[in-house]
Structure 1
Amino acid sequence: MSVKLIAVDMDGTFLNDNKEYNRARFAELYAQMKQQGIRFVVASGNQYYQLISFFPDIAHEISFVAENGGWVVSEGEDLFNGELTQQQFNTVIGHLLTLPHVYIIACGKHHGYTLRHYDDAFISMARAYYHRLELVDNFANLKDVFFKFALNLPDNLLDDTMSSLAGLFKGIMIPVTSGHGSIDLIIPGVHKANGLRILQEKWGIDNSEVLAFGDGGNDIEMLRQAKYGFAMANAPEKIKQIASYQTGHCNDQSVLDVIENVLKKEPPFNE
Structure 2
Amino acid sequence: MRLVASDIDGTILGHDGKISARTIRAFQACRDAGVELVFVTGRPPRWLYPLEEQLGHSGVVICSNGAVVWDPAAGKPISSTALDITAVFEARRIIKSIRPDALFGAETLHGFHLEPGFIENETSELLGEFTPAPLDRTLTAADAVVKFLAITREGTPDEFLAEVGPAVAHLVATTHSAPRTALLEMSVPGINKAVTLAKYAESLGIEAADVVAFGDMPNDIEMLRWAGHGYAMASGHPEAILAAGQQAPHFDDDGVAQILEAKLAGEKV
2:217–2:239 contact (8 Å) kept in structure 1? no
Q: Secondary structure at the match of 1:135?
A: coil
Q: Secondary structure at the match of 2:83?
A: coil
- Are 1:137 and 2:133 matched, yes or no? yes
Q: Secondary structure at the match of 2:121?
A: helix
User: Counterpart of 2:169?
Assistant: 170
Using the alignment, how far apart are the partners of 1:27 and 1:261 within structure 2? 15
Using the alignment, how far apart are the partners of 2:250 and 2:60 within structure 1? 24
Letter of the 1:139 counterpart: L
Q: Percent identity?
A: 23
Could you tell me the TM-score, scaled by structure 1's length? 0.85
- Are 1:40 and 2:37 matched, yes or no? yes
Could you tell me the TM-score, scaled by structure 2's length? 0.86
Using the alignment, how far apart are the partners of 1:164 and 1:158 within structure 2? 10
User: Counterpart of 2:236?
Assistant: 235
Task: Describe the superposition over 1:78-118 as per-residue Cα deviations: whole angstroms up to 9, x where unpaired.
Answer: 33211111221221233345533323221111112112454
Per the alignment, do residues 122 and 200 of structure 1 end up closer, same or farther by CA in structure 2, a change over 3 Å counting?
Answer: farther
Residue 157 (structure 1) shift: 5.2
Task: Describe the superposition over 1:29-73 as per-residue Cα deviations: whole angstroms up to 9, x where unpaired.
Answer: 33322222211111111111112343236342x221111111112
Identify which of structures 1 and 2 has the higher relative contact order when contacts are C-alpha pairs closer than 8 Å and 6+ apart.
1
- Within-5 A mapping of 1:50-129: 50-56=47-53, 58-60=56-58, 62-74=59-71, 76=74, 78-98=77-97, 99-118=99-118, 120-121=120-121, 124=124, 127=126
How many residue pairs were aligned? 260
1:148–1:185 contact (8 Å) kept in structure 2? yes
Task: Describe the superposition over 1:200-221 as per-residue Cα deviations: whole angstroms up to 9, x where unpaired.
Answer: 0210110000011111110000
Letter of the 2:225 counterpart: R
Letter of the 1:16 counterpart: G
Q: Secondary structure at the match of 2:131?
A: strand
Per the alignment, do residues 157 and 223 of structure 1 end up closer, same or farther by CA in structure 2, a change over 3 Å counting?
Answer: closer
1:228–1:244 contact (8 Å) kept in structure 2? no
Q: Secondary structure at the match of 1:54?
A: helix
Letter of the 1:240 counterpart: I
Using the alignment, how far apart are the partners of 1:177 and 1:144 within structure 2? 23
- Are 1:183 and 2:217 matched, yes or no? no
